[in-house]
Amino acid sequence: MFEAFLGGFGILFNPETVLMTFLLIAAGLFLGMFVGALPGFTTLMAMAILLPISFFLHPLLGIPFLIGVYKGVIYGGSIPAILVSMPGTGAAVATTFDGPPLTKKGKGRKALETALFSSVIGDTASDIFTIALIGPIAAVALLMGPPELAAVLFLALIVISATSSGVFVKGLLMLAIGLFFAMVGQDPIGALSRFSFGITSVESGIPLLPMLIGVFALPEIFAGIEKKASQIVSSEGLKVSGERLTFAEFKSCLRTIGRSTVIGTTIGMVPGVGQVVAAFMGYAAAKSASDHPERFGQGELEGVAAAEAANNAVNGPTLVPLLTLGIPGDNLTVILVGAFIAHGMRPGPQLMEDQGSLVFAILLSIILANILFLFIGYLCIPFFAKVVTIRKSFLLPLTLVFAFAGSWVFRGQPFDLAVLVFFGVFGYVAKKLHFDVTPMAMGFILGPTLEYSFGQTVTLAQGDLLTFITLERPAAAAILALTPLLTYLMWRRNNRLRQRFGEGAAH
């Protein structure tokens, strides 16, 4: 194993190709970051479009290029989430809790830099951990089947509802609404139509991206319009790109980043849940551990750090099932499979034995991509941060245009615009009534996977669910047993917070 590792080092830093590798990773990062920052372009789309380029390159140029794109797009996606509360994916939703409030305080640049540093640290640490423990992680990943996935998702949904702002019951109610929206369209297992009322456009379900933009970005725009025009054109927001992150601020986030990295890496071992769940768990844990939890959601750098470190720490372990068993951990690694196969490397147990050095070279190139990203990201941030320093009277209409344009480029279907408006109004009403839309969005995102894995579990158990879970799936049983305990603890904490700081504080 160690020989293979050294071999990989040799391959990657081969003096003849190393410069080209560096350049291609940098190009991938740069390209990915811009694509990711445009609302409506998903990571999956960007990767799929750029995949053919890697066909024509040497594996150690093509695959690192794709990895660069992958990292770039993920970070790029958190830029609109922080600046204008427009998450492009579920993974960026937790970033919208503290990102936009920071931007409003003129700390947009600080928030972007915190996100960059947390992402890079979370990712790098999880990659190193993955390289060191690739064997055991593969063994754990193989134990995680549909029953365990269902149990983890159930736990995650409860935790998300409990950490949402306001009353716990309101969170649960929004969760139920989200789960209901997820049921519209064909059911994931039998493909039978539900709640579609014969409308062809909703047969395939409510589209995620217009819903996310509608529910998170539109209410912010409406709230901005409500303010008096004099406030909107105040010169306050016109300062150039904002202040940089200070070292003291960065240091205060380090504990949070460490905690989130551990959480993200652990969750990354469960195939199929990944970044969305990790970001929320990281955020919830940071809030519980903080001695000033009331500041979370009001513009707290630690909140951004917690979410971003956790969702990026998922990346290392997600690659393990792909490299060791030949099974992609998520949709994005499926694209990497394509690139691997096109270069004659068949992912699977054979690959590790036959071409171990090459596998390690690729893992090392991921770490290299992170380090390069630190520089590229840092240089690009002022440019992005400037976007929000334009006058509010221009920014609001522009954001609105981006919201509609993003929903349109996603699939190019007029129906999606109706979805955007519907959820914009829904989000606005919920905001006015002090309902947090986050549990709704998460119920919607995770609902179908929960339903699918539960359906699979029932099929596997052949009717006798209780015996199956307790006797054959102890890991799933343990997670299920933990759920009510954790729920109680979070509920109690939430109650105390409200007693201490009043109704508004418990976000």
Contact flag: residue 4 with other proteins (CB under 8 A): no
Tokens of 360: 């390690």
**Tokens at residue 181, please?**
């929206």
Measured from the CB atom, is 81 or 490 closer to other proteins? 81
Rg (CA), the chain: 22
Q: State which of residues 186, 266, 298, 483 lies at the interface with other proteins (CB under 8 A).
A: 186
Q: Which is nearer to other proteins, 142 or 183 (CB)?
A: 142
User: What is the footprint of other proteins within residues 88-127 (CB under 8 A)?
Assistant: none
| From candidates 13, 195, 375, 394, binder to other proteins by CB under 8 A | 394
Residues 121-160 close enough to bind other proteins by CB under 8 A: 142-143, 145-146
Give whichever of 132 and 478 is closer to other proteins, judged by the CB atom.
478
Determine if 258 is a binding residue for other proteins (CB under 8 A): no
Residue 17 sits in the site that holds other proteins (CB under 8 A): no
242 scored as a contact of other proteins (CB under 8 A) = no
CB of 145 to other proteins, least distance (A): 5
Cβ distance to other proteins smaller for residue 51 or 465: 51
Q: Which of 390, 53, 464, 411 is nearest to 204 (CA)?
A: 411
Binds other proteins (CB under 8 A): choice among 128, 136, 204, 495: 204
Report the alpha-carbon distance of residue 157 to residue 57 in Å, rounded: 42
Residue 356 makes contact with other proteins by CB under 8 A: no
Among 80, 100, 205, 443, contact with other proteins (rule: CB under 8 A): 205
Residue 383 found at the interface with other proteins (CB under 8 A): yes
Residues 6+ away with beta carbon under 8 Å from 240: 386, 389
- For residues 117-126, one letter each, b for 16 or more C-beta atoms within 10 angstroms of the residue's C-beta and e for the rest, the string is bbbbbbbbbb
* Minimum distance, C-beta of residue 1 to other proteins, in the bound complex (Å): 18
What are the start-end ranges of the E strands in 69-219?
Answer: 185-186, 193-194
- Closer Cβ to other proteins, 75 or 296, answer by number: 75
Instruction: Tell me: does residue 191 bind other proteins (CB under 8 A).
Output: yes
> How far apart are the two ends of the chain, measured CA to CA in Å?
47
Are the beta carbons of 419 and 407 closer than 8 angstroms?
yes
**Selected range binding other proteins among 39-47, 101-109, 160-168, 480-488, rule: CB under 8 A:** 39-47
Instruction: At 244, list the tokens.
Output: 């940089």
Q: In sequence order, what are the beta bridge partners of 186?
A: 193
Count residues binding other proteins (CB under 8 A): 65
Residue of 135, 195, 203, 464 interacting with other proteins (CB under 8 A): 203
27 binds other proteins (CB under 8 A): no
> Cα–Cα distance between 94 and 433 in angstroms, integer?
21
Nearer to other proteins, 246 or 393 (CB): 393
Q: Which of 344, 414, 433, 466 binds other proteins (CB under 8 A)?
A: 344
Residue with tokens 């240091």: 251
**Applying CB under 8 A, which part among 17-25, 65-73, 253-261, 340-348 lies near other proteins?**
340-348
Asked whether 333 and 285 are in contact (CB, 8 A), the reply is: no
**Interface with other proteins, residue 44, by CB under 8 A:** yes
Tokens standing for residue 120 = 């890079």
373-407 as b/e: b if 16+ CB within 10 A: beebbeebbeebbebbbeebeebbeebbebbbebb
**What is the C-alpha to C-alpha distance for residues 503 and 507, in angstroms, rounded to an integer?**
9
Is there a contact between 321 and 141 (Cβ–Cβ < 8 Å)? yes
> Is 444:182 a contact under the CB 8 Å cutoff?
yes
d(CA 155, CA 158) in angstroms, rounded, equals: 5
CB of 305 to other proteins, least distance (A): 26
Cα 280 from chain centroid (whole Å): 9
Q: Which of 271, 282, 297, 406 binds other proteins (CB under 8 A)?
A: 271
Q: Could you tell me if 124 and 367 are in contact, meaning their C-beta atoms sit under 8 angstroms apart?
A: yes
Binding window for other proteins (CB under 8 A); candidates: 18-26, 94-102, 276-284, 386-394: 386-394
For other proteins, the binding residue among 10, 52, 135, 504 (CB under 8 A) is 52
Binding of residue 343 to other proteins (CB under 8 A):
yes
Q: Which stretch binds other proteins (CB under 8 A): 114-122, 161-169, 221-229, 318-326?
A: 318-326
The secondary structure element, H or E, covering residue 97 is none
**Considering only residues 408-437, where is the footprint of other proteins by CB under 8 A?**
411-412
Number of Cα atoms under 13 Å in the Cβ half of residue 67: 30
**How many other β-carbons are positioned within 10 Å of the β-carbon of residue 139?**
12
- Max CA separation in the chain (angstroms): 68
> Nearer to other proteins by C-beta: 290 or 456?
456
Q: Which residues bind other proteins (CB under 8 A)?
A: 31, 34-35, 38, 44-45, 47-49, 51-52, 55, 142-143, 145-146, 185-186, 188-191, 200, 203-205, 271-272, 321, 325-328, 331-332, 334-335, 337-338, 341-344, 346-351, 353, 383, 386-387, 389-390, 394, 398, 411-412, 452, 455-456, 459-460, 462
